[in-house]
Amino acid sequence: MYWNQSMECMPEGELKKLQYKSLKELVNNLYSFNAFYSQKMKAEGVRPDDISSLNDITKLPFMNKSDLRDNYPNKMFTARKRDVVRYHVSSGTTGKPTLVGYTQNDIEFWTESLARALTSVGIGKDDVMQVSYGYGLFTGGLGLHYGAEKVGATVLPAGTGSTERQLELMVDLDVTAIACTPSYLVHMGDVAKKMGIDLRKDTKLRKAVLGAEPWSESMRRYIEDDMGIQAYDIYGTSEISGPMFTDCAEKKGVHIWGDMMIVEIIDPESGESLEPGQDGELVMTVLKKEAMPMIRYRIKDLTAIIEEECACGRTSPRIKRITGRSDDMLIIRGINVFPSQVEHTLVQMPEVDGKHYMIIVDRVGALDFMTVQVEMRPEAFSDKVDDMIRLKKHISSELKKYLNIAVEVELVAPEALPRFMGKAKRVTDRRKF
Amino acid sequence: MVEEHMIKQLSIFINNEPGGLAKVAAALKDCNVNLKAFNIAESSGFGVFRAIVDDPDRACGELSKKGIVVKETDVIAIPMTNRPGGLLDVAKVIGDAHINVEYGYAYADNNKASFFFRVDDIAAAVGKLKEAGMKVLTEKDI
Ligand SMILES: [Zn+2]
């Protein structure tokens, strides 16, 4: 079953022609109308005429998350303000968030992409889909919501939290499919057990579209074999719209629709292009995006391109499961966290020495917990335990404001934390994916 | 003369790590600090060591130089009789005088016992204790 067979199964030659045409158009437009990107091109000495084949994409400059941060809120937008119909906001590398805007067409493309993806895993009109991603500034909830409605599924916009209630609804409403983070699904399974709910017998849940955090084949096996749910990987990031692409029923890599996106893999150090099959950093060019085009955007996820045609018949390139990051971004309960954000918050607090901190990430059961250790200033010390607990709570609520996740704070004495001679290694990630 | 009833206590921060207390104890030994009474409050992730010592100013200065997080806190002390019911007598006076004790701890040897405690308003507490006929100790008494 295809949602858009002509696009999904377009012969390779034809697809490349289409990509070239779209790229050429995009570059021409940006060079003429987008001050940010035309300056970037001029700085690299590239002109639109230099793009005379699809491979010439490598001549174009990269975009980075820092470009979004530096141009916050909307200096990179190419659509008129009145044509922007939605914003999503994600965390940036420092205190400043990154803003993504969408025109009506952008929303429709995003939705179309998910409609193809959901269809490819067999989710459609007969399904009831529980969307247990966060709704709101995060792209996961609304993205999947629109995609699932598009294919005609009945959507249960459950959001995150209230797990027991979610499970009751899952039983009562005959939910057949769910979209959430893999760790949340495992957590739901644990809670279901405690409630006496047998997911296999008491629910109709058989499919899960899982992403927004790294996970592994062994976790897929656990979800499929132990929980009885077919588990599909979903990929995307807010800068390219949000979650957009999934495995097909073959579960052998995530299909990236070629008419919407050009994918490249580069060496994270040198920026040189790598061949299909070689592991490196993912770079994406969004061919159809009006409000905020992204050209050669360095997502910083590590993967490889699978070029062979998939048994499902779709011709678009696939990417392998994400194996890690080329930067220090952490994904905690589906939320992106940069150590620099933690530092940014701490250095503004007079009670602590924010230059000296450590981050510890643990997984307890299926849920992630983040602890921040920070060196207290001697003046902030109090002989009263209550005062110290109040200080800890204050720091953790400041961190929560910036990071959007609960953080446990541990105060330590000055000079108790390690000092780094070279590159600081401030993160201890004890999770096993 | 409230000042004479202010007993200087050392308050020391203990890191949440194996041997955190031992580190503090070693620093106390290195600085030649003689403990007369002490107490340890533990919470999730840290501890506070409180002690009555000889020459607290010197001790505080030397411990700070060793990188120990330490400060001096004023507490008050009252005598306790070293017999069953000694605590009850003290607790009753404090309770009847409506003094809000943040924390307290005792010291006892064969001859005498003292109860040290931290209040927010020392002057008010000392006044109330004296009114209740309780002797409030000075640095010299300890
Ligand atoms: Zn496929």
Instruction: Please give the pLDDT value at position B43.
Output: 87
Residue B45 Cα, gap to closest chain A Cα (Å): 6
Q: Is residue A424 very low, low, confident or very high in pLDDT (cuts 50, 70, 90)?
A: confident
What pLDDT is stored for residue B18 in this prediction? 86
Cβ-defined contact of B45 to A410 (cutoff 8 Å): yes
Residue window 56-85, chain B: list those with CB within 8 Å of chain A: 64, 67-71, 73
Chain B residue whose CA is closest to A371: B45
User: pLDDT band for position A151 (50/70/90)?
Assistant: very high
Residue A135 has a CB neighbour count (10 Å cut-off) of: 17
Q: Which residues contact A302 (CB under 8 A, 6 or more apart)?
A: A268, A279, A280, A281, A282, A322, A323, A324, A325, A326
Does the distance separating the beta carbons of A384 and B103 come in below 8 Å? yes
Give the pLDDT confidence score for residue A53 in this predicted structure. 96
A416/B11 CB distance under 8 A: no
For position A69, what pLDDT does the model report?
87
Q: Which of A369, A371, A383 to mutate to test the interface with B (most CBs of B within 10 A)?
A: A383
CATH number 3.30.70.260 given to A81-327: no
Distance CA A336, CA A89 (A): 11
Q: What is the DSSP letter of A153?
A: P
- Cis-peptide into A268, omega within 30 deg: no
CB pair distance less than 8 Å for A383 and B50: yes
CB atoms within 10 A of CB A98: 22
Domain boundaries, chain B: 3-74, 75-141
- In angstroms, the CA A101 to CA A78 distance is 10
Nearest CB among A384, A385, A414 relative to B69 is that of: A414
Of A79-93, A272-286, A388-402, the least confident: A79-93
Two structure tokens written together for B77:
């002390």
CA distance A305 to A291: 28
Our CA-based measurement puts residue A45 at a distance from the nearest CA of chain B, in whole angstroms, of 56
What's the gap in Å between the CA of B12 and the closest CA on chain A? 7
**Residue B89 to chain A, least CA–CA distance (Å):** 25
B9 in A contact zone (CB under 8 Å): yes
- Distance to chain A for B69, nearest Cα, Å: 6
CATH homologous superfamily for the domain B3-74: VC0802-like (3.30.2130.10)
pLDDT at A95 (0 to 100):
63
With bands split at pLDDT 50, 70 and 90, how would you rate the model's confidence at A283? very high
Q: Identify residue A411 by its one-letter amino acid code.
A: L
The answer to whether residue A159 scores a pLDDT higher than 70 is: yes
Using the Cβ of B102 and the Cβ atoms of chain A, whether some distance falls under 8 Å is answered with yes
Q: Where are the domains of chain A?
A: 81-327, 332-429
Nearest CA in chain B to A372: B45
Q: What is the mean pLDDT of residues A223-249?
A: 96
Distance from CA of A126 to the nearest CA of B (A): 51
CB contact under 8 A, B67 and A413: yes
pLDDT at position A336 over 80: yes
Of the candidates A83, A343, A356, A100, the one whose C-alpha atom is nearest the C-alpha of residue A238 is A100
CATH 3.30.2130.10 fits B75-141, yes or no: yes
pLDDT tens string, chain B, 142 residues long: the values are 788 999 999 999 999 888 889 999 999 999 999 999 999 998 888 999 999 999 999 999 999 999 899 999 999 999 988 788 888 888 888 888 888 899 999 888 777 889 999 998 899 999 988 988 889 999 888 8
Question: Is the CB of B18 inside 8 Å of chain A's CB atoms?
Answer: no
Which helix (H) or strand (E) segment holds residue A18: the answer is helix A12-33
Q: What is the mean pLDDT of chain A?
A: 94
pLDDT at residue A361 in the model: 95
The number of C-beta contacts closer than 8 angstroms across A and B is: 50
Tell me phi and psi for residue A177, to 5 degrees: -145, 155
- Residues in CB range of A102: below 8 A, 6 or more apart: A84, A85, A86, A87, A88, A110, A241, A291
B95-135 pLDDT, tens digit per residue, is: 888 888 999 998 887 778 899 999 988 999 999 889 888 89
Region A290-300 average pLDDT: 94
- pLDDT at residue number A113: 98
Nearest chain A CA: its distance from B15 CA (Å): 6
Cβ-based contacts of B68 with chain A (< 8 Å): 413
What pLDDT is recorded for position A294? 94
- Residues of B within 8 A of A388 (CB-CB) are 43, 46, 48
pLDDT tens-digit profile of A238-253? 999 999 999 999 999 9
Give the Å distance between the CA of A119 and the centre of ligand 1: 11
Chain A residues closer than 8 Å to B9 by CB: 383
Between strands A207-211 and B113-118, the pairing is unpaired
Q: Is the pLDDT of residue A51 over 90?
A: yes
pLDDT score, position A28:
95
Contact B136, B94 (CB under 8 A): no
pLDDT value of residue A93? 67
Lowest pLDDT segment from A89-93, A167-171, B30-34, B47-51:
A89-93
Burial of B57 (0-12, 13-18, 19+ CB in 10 A): exposed
Residue to substitute from B6, B8, B15, interface A, most A β-carbons within 10 A: B15
pLDDT band for position A380 (cuts 50, 70, 90): very high
DSSP class per residue in chain B? --GGG-EEEEEEEEESSTTHHHHHHHHHHHTTPPEEEEEEEEETTEEEEEEEESSHHHHHHHHHHTT--EEEEEEEEEEE-SSTTHHHHHHHHHHHTT---SEEEEEE-SS-EEEEEE-S-HHHHHHHHHHTT-----GGG-
Identify the CATH number of the domain defined by range A332-429. 3.30.300.30
Task: Quote the tokens at residue A76.
Answer: 């990179």
Distance CA A136, CA B2 (A): 59
Is the pLDDT higher at A341 or at A143?
A143
Residues of B with Cβ-Cβ distance to A415 under 8 angstroms: 67
Chain centroid, CA A15 distance in Å: 26
How does residue A48 score in pLDDT terms, banded at 50, 70 and 90? very high
The pLDDT assigned to A120 comes to 98
* Per-residue confidence (pLDDT) for residue A165, from 0 to 100: 97
**Region of poorest pLDDT, from A145-159, A266-280, A320-334:** A320-334
Q: Are A79 and A289 in contact (CB under 8 A)?
A: no
pLDDT of A214 higher than 80: yes
Point out the residue among B13, B45, B102 whose CB comes nearest to the CB of A384. Answer: B102
Contacts of B49 in chain A (CB under 8 A): none
Cβ distance of A381 and B11 shorter than 8 Å: yes
Q: Of the given ranges (A178-192, A289-303, A355-369, A410-424), which has the lowest mean pLDDT? A: A410-424
Q: Which two tokens stand for residue A99?
A: 């803003």
Question: Does the structure show a pLDDT above 70 at A50?
Answer: yes
Is B3-74's fold the same as B75-141's? yes
Read off the pLDDT band of A420 (50, 70, 90).
confident
User: With contact defined as beta carbons under 8 Å apart, do B19 and B26 qualify?
Assistant: no
The partner residue sitting opposite A385, judged by closest CB among B15, B43, B67, is B43
Q: What integer is the mean pLDDT of A160-181? A: 96
Q: What is the mean pLDDT of residues A426-432?
A: 90
Q: H helices of A275-383, where?
A: 339-346
What is the reported pLDDT for A94? 66
